[in-house]
Structure 1
């Protein structure tokens, strides 16, 4: 009993800095002059500049040892592909076929398998230091392009928009692929530039979490409840259980298992509703799902981490 209590306290302390920033964004947006007009511009800044710089720097600053992390990469890709498969299958599940709006599904399928890299990076750093950051950077570098393609494809297909055009304009895909290419070529960031990139990365974490809080909405979830329950159930229950099974099957060491479980249970990407809105879909509905996912992360993260501890 005492051990369970101490673990709960440790999880709360681990998550508090990140969720307090989300709460700050929510409070500032609703009770001060820093309303949605301000945070909309913050999201653009984070999405197109700050976060791509953080991703690029995280991937390029340390040599990627694919051999040492091969099992972790296999497990991470397994979790991602499981999420994609389950999300894509929802309109064909008996009982959901007539209750799932195909257009809303195209926009919200990404909720089931995308992950909040801001929280992932912050937690990996807090749990395992530079080694944890390197492991999560490898997962981000390999999985973000795949998951972003999987997020864009249903919307581009449903709207009959060019998939290739949407992909080459996505700043997260450009940054991660650029970081991977630079790393594999042995290119490094000059010492004089590294402190600047580190500070930009720190700003992206703080502002990204606050922007996620500022974008939280609930009102639009009155419709599409079955779809909401389904994609959130995949994100916060089925994927952590999948990750747990893969961690056991691949015999990941404790640090890798903790990083994988964090990767599987964090809230969905805060940029999901920006992507949906930019592609002409129901942004407020997706924002509502992001809101619920952010709150569910308070439960799913301790649950997932407790499985391997």
Structure 2
């Protein structure tokens, strides 16, 4: 399978968003509003629908959930360890590391859901929605923890108010209770979900920034190596160790190789850290995703 060809439409939308934001009247304030619409409404609806659409067997999904947690914890541990590495730690500013550690393990959910549907249809959407539901709370805690003393709100508040967690938890509750979306509402909900993917990908492109990358090169190389090389390799090993099936392995490796979350720079800036530097890392991560995703998916045949 030519995974690079499958990924091209989604990264084309990212490029379109970047060009529209930089060279037309649809500038950054327009895309900030669009990003908020996707994050707080369109995207949660897609997550909810993806989970409710097909009856979920938690017993069958438990292996994927455990594999996702192990992979996520591995990424967090590697990220936290960077300042303590003897050959790298002395080159890393501890304050910049507190803001940038999240880049190594957080992920862009917009891109993840778009790719899941393209690679494995409705089953892929449900599987990656389960991974998102399991890992978003963990990753939010891990992202906020190093910066918590500078934030206005504790990390627990950040987690319980997250719209992705709310949508995932309610979707799981509806699914396990045997409920489903009424037939008359399905077309509307489906169109909302489709809009969230296209608009979310373009918003990710609009948010790319190339400034402030001259500083902290060692730290940048460290977190991006974890995000785009070490974590996919870890996921490949975890998939083999857990004996995951093809679809589960495909989604776990996709999940592990995704670009980092575009909201990383928002969180860093809000908590008093160097937002522009983190935004530069997010931009590089988005570009590196075009290499790490085909690399990770190419490992599927070896699982």
TM-score (norm 2): 0.93
Is the Cα–Cα contact under 8 Å of residues 212 and 276 in structure 2 kept in the other structure? yes
Is the Cα–Cα contact under 8 Å of residues 141 and 177 in structure 1 kept in the other structure? yes
Identify the residue that residue 207 of structure 1 maps to in structure 2.
199
Identify the residue that residue 197 of structure 1 maps to in structure 2.
189
- Structure 2 distance, partners of 1:217, 1:149, is 25
Does 74-83 or 88-97 show the bigger shift? 88-97
1:158 Cα shift? 4.7
Q: Equivalent residue of 1:136, what SS?
A: helix
| 1:176 pairs with 2:201 | no
Q: How does 1:290-309 map to 2 (within 5 A)?
A: 290-309=282-301
CA RMSD between the two structures: 1.8
Identify the residue that residue 86 of structure 1 maps to in structure 2.
78
| 1:61 pairs with 2:47 | no
Q: How does 1:234-253 map to 2 (within 5 A)?
A: 234-253=226-245
Residues 2-30 of structure 1: CA distance to partner in whole angstroms, max 9, x if unpaired?
Answer: xxxxx5xx222211110000000010011
Task: Could you tell me which runs of 5 or more consecutive residues in structure 2 were left unpaired when the two chains were aligned.
Answer: none
Q: Equivalent residue of 2:56, what SS?
A: coil
| 1:29 pairs with 2:29 | no
Is the Cα–Cα contact under 8 Å of residues 67 and 239 in structure 2 kept in the other structure? yes
1:273 Cα shift? 2.1
1:134 Cα shift? 1.6
- Structure 2 distance, partners of 1:46, 1:60, is 19
Does 94-103 or 49-58 show the bigger shift? 94-103
Q: 1:280 aligns with which of 246, 255, 272?
A: 272
Residues 110-142 of structure 1: CA distance to partner in whole angstroms, max 9, x if unpaired?
Answer: 111111222221222112111212211211121
| 1:120 pairs with 2:133 | no
- Structure 2 distance, partners of 1:278, 1:199, is 33
1:294 Cα shift? 0.9
- Structure 1 distance, partners of 2:254, 2:270, is 28
| 1:164 pairs with 2:151 | no
How many residue pairs are counted as aligned between the two chains? 301
1:272 Cα shift? 2.1
Is the Cα–Cα contact under 8 Å of residues 103 and 224 in structure 2 kept in the other structure? yes
Is the Cα–Cα contact under 8 Å of residues 152 and 167 in structure 1 kept in the other structure? no
- Structure 1 distance, partners of 2:268, 2:288, is 21
Q: 1:110 aligns with which of 77, 102, 123?
A: 102
- Structure 1 distance, partners of 2:291, 2:208, is 18
1:161 Cα shift? 4.0
Structure 1 residues 144 and 208: alpha-carbon distance in aligned structure 2, compared to 1, 3 A threshold: same
1:283 Cα shift? 2.1
Is the Cα–Cα contact under 8 Å of residues 145 and 176 in structure 1 kept in the other structure? no
1:60 Cα shift? 2.5
Identify the residue that residue 136 of structure 1 maps to in structure 2.
128
Q: Equivalent residue of 1:68, what SS?
A: helix
| 1:40 pairs with 2:32 | yes
Identify the residue that residue 12 of structure 1 maps to in structure 2.
4
TM-score (norm 1): 0.91
Q: Equivalent residue of 2:58, what SS?
A: coil
Q: Which runs of 4+ in 1 moved over 6 A?
A: none
